[in-house]
Amino acid sequence: MVLGLYNYWIVVLLMMIGFYIVIAHGNLIKKLVGLTIFQTSVFIFYISMGNVENGSAPILAEGLSRYSNPLPHVLILTAIVVGIATTALGLALVVRIKESYGSIEEDEIQIQDQLTEDKT
Amino acid sequence: MIAIAIVRTKDLLAVVMLTGIYGLLSASFFVVLDAVDVAFTEAAVGAGISGLLMLAAITMTGRTEAPKRHKPLLALLVVFVTGGMLIYGTLDMPYFGSFEAPVHQHVAPRYINDSMQEVGVPNIVTSVLASYRAFDTLGEVAVIFTAGIGVLSLLSLPQRRRSYRLDESKKELMHEQHMVVRIVSKTLIPFILLFALYVQFHGDFGPGGGFQAGVIFAAAIILYAMLFGLDTAKRVFNQTLIQLIAAIGLLLYASVGVVSLFSGVNYLDYNVLADDPVAGQHLGILLIELGVGCTVAAVMIIIFFNFVGRREAQQDANEQNSTELNNSHELKSTELKSTELNNTKQNNREGE
Amino acid sequence: MLAHLSILQVVVPLMAAPLCLFLNRSKLVWLFALLVCAFTFVNSIFLLQQVMSSGTIIYQLGGWDAPWGIEYRIDELNALLLLIISAVGTIVLFAAHTSIQKELPESRHTLFYSLYLLSITGMFGIVSTGDVFNVFVFLEISSLSGYALIALGKDRRALWAAYQYLIMGTIGATFILIGIGLLYQMTGTLNMADLANRLAEVNQTRTVFAAFTFLIVGICLKLALFPLHLWLPNAYAYAPSIVTAFLAATATKVAVYLLIRFTYTVFGIEFSFSILPLQNLFIILGLVGIFAASTAAIYKTNVKHIFAYSSIAQVGYMIIGYAINTTTGLMATLLHLFNHALMKSALFLALGAVMYRIGSVQLSQFQGLGRQMPLTMAAIVIGGLSLIGVPLTVGFISKWYLLLAVIEAGMWPVAVLLLLGSLLAVLYVWRIVETAYFKPPLPGREAVQEAPWTFLAPIWILVLANIYFGIDTRLSVQVAQAASQSLFGINP
């Protein structure tokens, strides 16, 4: 059982490291980095389940009969694109936040917001 | 290991570099798992584009993380519960690589056995992506387009006029510093573009396709922009034009579906595009991949240009305060750029 | 063309979004976008009619059979959601041209409409599709455009709110992705109907249990169910007024739809409500949400904040109806989806009109507005009454059915608590009424004019709809009932 599943466990570990960065860190860019790692690990999980023993890449050729499952590959191609789209938008937001708050640390921004709220 | 290093490191530049390596590693992992198309994309995106964007962002936001931490305990708890849940979930999973898993027994066999007759493309990933599940891919192009529009709406600046003299002197500076790099890459760029076209049209047979081609194409343009300055690049590739290309790509894709509608079949059914169903499929896939390529390349360029344009605008603002400070900043960022450049080259090489 | 209505609903706005970039003149783009939304509205009416008369519409994209290709599957529930989204989307957009002139720089107008159309496309896509991965893709279209739309807000806090929303939303989406992956691994399929069939065999496994949990948590993040609601108030408060009116009326509804679809159709009712104490959990979270959010609303000074917290409370009502797990309960939830969309779009649009005239929605600035902007304020009062659940408004209808369902299920304490929750709504609505009508106009401010007709027309269309559907309930109740019965597998 250990041998059959260890691959997934490593992926879970990676996912959780990414997830931890997202929720525990206060730096906005680092949060996005965490998100990227989290997502990439999910991709690895998908690709892992498409793998077959003794299979080959899903490009049809003479003399091959067993191929990896192409469907997870397709899904992940899409998901990678979605991921980079999210990252790009997130970074654009961070740049704007830096411009208007002068900081990219979560708590400093919250303090500034508190101050504006108290004024009104 | 790298993931852990990322948690610990406070220097954001190092973090970004490590993320790039992480992307590259997962790409090689994908190769091991027979997912060549995915590996290709991950190498271009995870190690290339996203690292590039993060670098561009860091030059604007500063590169160190504040040392304080808050609530790590609560976060750890959440992470442990989630991770525990996942591990618990794995317990009943089919074993890794097992051929008996439902994944390999249901749905997928038809792709593997029949796609050659039904779609006529040796690369199964392409036939699933572009035909069986073409609507997902349309959605994906729409996501990319959305990101492009979103970044534009956040970062785009009104057309600005800079003092001409200053521009020239900067160029001069760069020219002297990077003579060799510039000439080398100048000769490289046409090849990269050629390679992009190859990837675009070879996707039917080997790994590749519109998305990867778009990214490589964009990388070539970005390389050009980095070496010859954004303004020169913008003169060559008009901003509005690029936006329109992004729009056209998405429209092209969606219109292929509309053509099927008018031919009396369901949306995105390519069989009717030509007399012979397989020829129709070929034509359909070719057209939509072209659409994907256009949109992806254009959006990547839009995103990059706007990030860098924003940064230059910030620097202009700084210049008015102190010219000296700006100079050192500029130097540092050119250093950065040359490392980025290496990254991009590596990716391209790896793609080949 | 009649056979293709379901796909046109999604593809027309999808193609219109890039076309916006070609027009590039603010007014022209607005007219174009409005036309497109109006088309989807008419289209959704046809779809609803078709579904009600001849049953579920199934449409195979690319001509491929279901589990191999992607299919669209539209039953009463989907059609109802399509109608809500397209109706609100069209009416709200009517005021957009006037509103964004004050709130956005000219250079962003085209992009705004393009994003708006993409956002609506994403929502249509989510509620039309019968494929779980397709749900994820369109979820991201609507989310990404949503983040960008919120970040367009004038206040710098809009940026921060959009960033927080982006992080929370992406975590939610990734959870959903994990859930989908686990399901796929156990069944080998992504099609909802096929999943439902094949899950029966394996639903005792721990993997499916984990998949279920991840999907529920992911969806609840998007749903802003208490305590996962933290991103919502600021996002609604600092986004441009039009965006708030649109998202408040639609975004959480789509998440409720997903919750219903996954638990009822994909996993099946028996499984969903037996594997986790979902019923008790959701009823408790719903009640706590109602009280916590309503109390927070009472103390807020920004009127947009007040209504944003009220939205979180309303999610509580929807989730309780859903958790009762009877046809009446589900029907109450569906009615409330419809009715709440009408109330909140009217209210937030009215706030947009206030924003247009006085440039602020702080409660203190509302002094004297009762006389100066009588029509706008009257709309807010009626919307508020509807929120409380006063008879002759739509709010009454949904609360009535909800109470009925709760009593039917014998949960008396819940019924009492629901009524108490409505009293809290009285308090926060009253604060606005008091300031607007019973306090003298702010000294030193020039007399404020009534909002322009481009605002008043859509606001009052929505307000009248609030009253109309509060009196003549045939249409809404009939559809909600049909949808609820078909989810429970009862043929009327």
The yes-or-no verdict on residue B347 having pLDDT over 50 is: no
Return the pLDDT at B69.
56
CA dihedral C453, C458, C459, C464 (to 10 degrees): 120
Cis peptide before C227 (omega within 30 of 0): yes
The yes-or-no verdict on residue B63 having pLDDT over 80 is: no
Helix (H, G, I), strand (E, B) or coil at C380: helix
- Contact C205/B at CB under 8 A: yes
Return the pLDDT at B173.
55
State the CB neighbour count (10 A cutoff) for residue B232.
14
Distance CA B243, CA B248 (A): 9
CB contact under 8 Å between C62 and B269, yes or no, is yes
Phi/psi at C430 (5° precision): -60, -40
Contacts of A16 in chain B (CB under 8 A): 79-80, 82-83, 86
Return the pLDDT at B163.
43
Residue type, C119: S
Distance CA B138, CA C79 (A): 23
Segment C61-73, tens digit of pLDDT: 888 887 888 999 9
Structure tokens at C118: 């993409």
CB contact under 8 Å between C137 and B88, yes or no, is no
Phi/psi at B107 (5° precision): 65, -60
Return the pLDDT at B321.
62
Query: What pTM does this model have?
Result: 0.90
Distance CA B53, CA A91 (A): 8
Segment B231-282, tens digit of pLDDT: 777 777 777 888 888 999 999 999 988 888 888 888 888 888 888 888 888 8
Return the pLDDT at B161.
45
Most confident of A68-82, B114-128, C113-127: C113-127
Q: Using pLDDT thresholds of 50, 70 and 90, give the confidence band for residue B320.
A: low
Minimal Cα distance from A97: which residue of B? B61
* Percent of residues, chain A, with pLDDT higher than 70: 94
Return the pLDDT at B9.
65
Return the pLDDT at B336.
44
- Contact A14/C at CB under 8 A: no
CB contact under 8 Å between B244 and C198, yes or no, is no
Neighbouring subunits of B (3+ Cβ pairs under 8 A): A, C
State the CB neighbour count (10 A cutoff) for residue B92.
18
Which of A55, C177, C306, A33 has its CA nearest to residue B11? A33
Distance CA C275, CA A112 (A): 45
Q: Using pLDDT thresholds of 50, 70 and 90, give the confidence band for residue B119.
A: confident
Return the pLDDT at C444.
75
Distance CA C54, CA C474 (A): 19
Residue ranges of domains in chain A, CATH in brackets: 2-52+67-119 (1.10.287.3510)
Mean pLDDT of C206-226: 89
Kindly tell me the burial class for residue C421, based on how many C-beta atoms sit within 10 Å of its own C-beta (0-12, 13-18, 19 or more).
buried
The continuous run of DSSP H or E covering C59 comes out as strand C57-60
State the CB neighbour count (10 A cutoff) for residue B158.
8
Distance CA B335, CA C426 (A): 62
- Contact C213/B at CB under 8 A: yes
Q: Where are the domains of chain B?
A: 129-351
What's the whole-number average pLDDT of chain C? 90
Segment C397-416, tens digit of pLDDT: 999 999 999 999 888 889 99
Q: What angle do CA B293, B294, B295 make, to 5 degrees?
A: 95
Contacts of B3 in chain A (CB under 8 A): 14, 17-18, 37
Please state the separation of Cα C167 from the chain's center in Å.
20
- Distance from the Cα of C178 to chain A's closest Cα (Å) equals 7
3-state secondary structure B200-261: HHHCCCCCCCHHHHHHHHHHHHHHHHHHHCHHHHHHHCCHHHHHHHHHHHHHHHHHHHHHHH
- Contact C4/B at CB under 8 A: yes
Mean pLDDT of B190-201: 80
Kindly tell me the burial class for residue C238, based on how many C-beta atoms sit within 10 Å of its own C-beta (0-12, 13-18, 19 or more).
buried
Q: What is the number of alpha carbons within 13 Å of residue C108 lying toward its C-beta?
A: 26
Return the pLDDT at C379.
94
The yes-or-no verdict on residue C163 having pLDDT over 70 is: yes
Kindly tell me the burial class for residue B283, based on how many C-beta atoms sit within 10 Å of its own C-beta (0-12, 13-18, 19 or more).
middle
Q: Which residues pair with B220 in a beta bridge?
A: none
Reduced DSSP (H G I as helix, E B as strand, rest coil) percent helix, strand, coil of chain C, to 5: 80, 5, 15
Distance CA B25, CA C471 (A): 63
Structure tokens at B249: 């790509």
- Distance from the Cα of B197 to chain A's closest Cα (Å) equals 19
- Contact C426/A at CB under 8 A: no
Query: Which of B89, B154, B254 minimises the CB distance to C14?
Result: B254
Q: Using pLDDT thresholds of 50, 70 and 90, give the confidence band for residue A109.
A: confident
Nearest-Å Rg of the Cα atoms of chain B is 23
- Distance from the Cα of B188 to chain C's closest Cα (Å) equals 33
- Distance from the Cα of C156 to chain A's closest Cα (Å) equals 6
State the CB neighbour count (10 A cutoff) for residue A53.
10
Return the pLDDT at B178.
63
Distance CA C199, CA C263 (A): 12
Please report where in the chains the tokens 């469907």 appear, as a residue: A71
Mean pLDDT of C319-340: 92
CB contact under 8 Å between B267 and C11, yes or no, is yes
Mean pLDDT of C253-280: 88
The yes-or-no verdict on residue C457 having pLDDT over 90 is: yes
* Percent of residues, chain C, with pLDDT higher than 70: 99
Mean pLDDT of C383-393: 91
Helix (H, G, I), strand (E, B) or coil at B76: helix
CB contact under 8 Å between A107 and B205, yes or no, is no
Neighbouring subunits of A (3+ Cβ pairs under 8 A): B, C
The yes-or-no verdict on residue B191 having pLDDT over 90 is: no
Q: What angle do CA B108, B110, B114 make, to 5 degrees?
A: 140
Return the pLDDT at B204.
67
- The number of residues making up chain A comes to 120
Distance CA A68, CA C79 (A): 38
CA dihedral B77, B79, B83, B84 (to 10 degrees): 10
The yes-or-no verdict on residue C461 having pLDDT over 90 is: yes
Helix (H, G, I), strand (E, B) or coil at B64: strand
CB contact under 8 Å between B54 and A84, yes or no, is no
- Contact B73/A at CB under 8 A: no
What's the whole-number average pLDDT of chain B? 76
Distance CA C310, CA C286 (A): 13
Segment B43-52, tens digit of pLDDT: 888 777 888 8
Distance CA C139, CA C141 (A): 5
Kindly tell me the burial class for residue C280, based on how many C-beta atoms sit within 10 Å of its own C-beta (0-12, 13-18, 19 or more).
exposed
Helix (H, G, I), strand (E, B) or coil at B9: coil
Q: Which residues pair with C362 in a beta bridge?
A: C302
Return the pLDDT at B340.
44
Please report where in the chains the tokens 């399929």 appear, as a residue: C189
Return the pLDDT at C217.
92
The yes-or-no verdict on residue C215 having pLDDT over 60 is: yes
Helix (H, G, I), strand (E, B) or coil at B347: helix
